Amino acid sequence: MTLCLLGVALACGKRDSRNLPNDGQQAVVDSLSDSTRPQPARRDSTSATVLIVGTSLTAGLGLDPYDAYPGVLQRMADSAGYRVDVVAAGVSGETSAGALRRIDWLLQKPADVIVVETGANDGLRGLDIDSTRTNLLEIMRRSAALKPNARLFLVQMEAPPNLGPRYTTSFRAMFPEVAREGHAELIPFLLDGVAGVPDLNQPDGIHPNERGSMVVAANVWRALEPALRQVTSR
pLDDT at 163: 92
Active site (catalytic) residues? 56, 204, 207
Q: Quick one: pLDDT band at residue 234, thresholds 50, 70, 90?
A: confident
Task: Residue 119: name the closest of 159, 87, 176, 69 by CA.
Answer: 159
Q: Indicate the domain borders of the chain.
A: 2-10+47-231
| pLDDT > 70: percent of the chain | 80
For 2-10+47-231, CATH number out of 3.40.190.10, 3.50.50.60, 3.30.1330.30, 3.40.50.1110 equals 3.40.50.1110
Q: Identify each DSSP E strand in the chain by its residue range.
A: 48-54, 84-90, 113-116, 151-155, 185-187
Query: What are the Cα distances from residue 216, in Å, to 26, 94, 135, 222?
Result: 11, 19, 24, 10
Nearest Cα neighbor of 109 from 87, 124, 137, 132 is 87
Q: What is the pLDDT of residues 209-221, one digit of tens each?
A: 999 999 999 999 9
Check residue 12 and give its pLDDT.
Answer: 41
User: What's the pLDDT tens digit per position in 58-101?
Assistant: 999 999 999 999 999 999 999 999 999 999 999 999 999 999 99
> Model confidence over 220-231: pLDDT tens digits?
999 999 999 999
DSSP state of 160: -
Q: What is the value of pTM for the model shown?
A: 0.84
pLDDT above 90 coverage of the chain, percent: 75
Q: At residue 214, what is the residue type?
A: M
